[in-house]
Amino acid sequence: MKTSGGTDAMKRRAGESAASTVDDGDVVGLGTGSTAAHAIRAIGERVDGGLDVRGVATSFASRELAIECGIHLVDLDEVTGPDSAGIDVAVDGADRVADGDLIKGGGGAHAREKLVDAAADRFLVVADPSKETAALDRPVPVEVLPSGRGVVADAVREAGGEASLRRAERKDGPVVTDNGNLLLDCAFGEIPDPGTLAAELADTPGVVEHGLFVGLADEIHVGTAEGVRVRE
Ligand code: 5RP
């Protein structure tokens, strides 16, 4: 069997594996990032072949890609709420995966991602093996109201972390999210109890959403050099 260990090939395998579980008639949450993009392309190919799905985008980027791939899009509020279809499955990437809990928000899209992923009947995480760690250990992206950035940074310091404003790589200024807010990357070192930290961040005035996804994932599809590992 021919194997390919390049990171992009592993991300593609993970994305294709999750995309293959989508059923005809499903409402599908479309995640953000390079691994989720592979899943969106794979769903698009199945749509070309006759699969009938409706997608809910989690960012402007996933919306653009879904349109390019011919996936019919609906707004989250069209499919959620009383007597609505709901979201059957969401497919999304992660920056860290430890014991089923995630850090997301590397692309700054975690607020809409959490809305969509948490609303889905099945939330499938797609990742390459570099994302798997024993403990969540990278800075937690926190989306904040622009005027709340100092207040939230103070609260993060009190909670034992250090907040840095995310800056745009090739532009002079901060990253602005799809929702018009700012991002603080909050370093706590290893996070022994993600649930407690998640609750603390969620309780902080000025926080729109944080990137800790605790207990939300149903399946984790990890693309490897040889194939795909699926953990439930
Ligand atoms: C965006 C995310 C992404 O899913 C996460 O950053 C993983 O990205 P990639 O698949 O490109 O490694 O959370 O907010």
Per-residue pLDDT tens over the stretch 168-201:
987 789 999 999 999 999 999 999 999 999 999 9
Atom 8 in ligand 1: residue holding the nearest Cα: 33
Contact 223, 10 (CB under 8 A): yes
**Does the pLDDT of residue 46 top 90, yes or no?**
yes
Instruction: Please provide the distance, in angstroms rounded to a whole number, between the alpha carbons at the two ends of the chain.
Output: 26
Q: Which residues line ligand 1 (CB under 6 A)?
A: 31-36, 92-95, 104-110, 113
**Ligand 1 mean position to 34 CA, how many Å?**
7
Contact 178, 185 (CB under 8 A): no
**Ligand 1 mean position to 95 CA, how many Å?**
6
**Ligand 1 mean position to 31 CA, how many Å?**
8
What pLDDT is recorded for position 1? 40
**Does the pLDDT of residue 2 top 90, yes or no?**
no
Show the tokens assigned to 98: 């430890």
Is 45 one of the catalytic residues?
Answer: no
Mean pLDDT over the full length of the chain: 96
Q: What is the tens place of the pLDDT at every residue in 5-35?
A: 699 999 999 999 999 999 999 999 999 999 9
For the CA of 34, the nearest atom of ligand 1: 11
Q: What is the tens place of the pLDDT at every residue in 125-140?
A: 999 999 999 999 999 9
Q: What are the φ/ψ torsions at residue 211 (nearest 5 degrees)?
A: -90, 15
ipTM of the complex: 0.98
Atom 2 in ligand 1: residue holding the nearest Cα: 105
Q: Which residues are annotated as a binding site for substrate?
A: 32-35, 92-95, 104-107, 131
**Ligand 1 mean position to 127 CA, how many Å?**
9
Q: Which residues are annotated as a binding site?
A: 32-35, 92-95, 104-107, 131
| Residue of 68, 78, 113, 169 marked active site | 113
Overall average pLDDT of the 212-222 stretch: 98
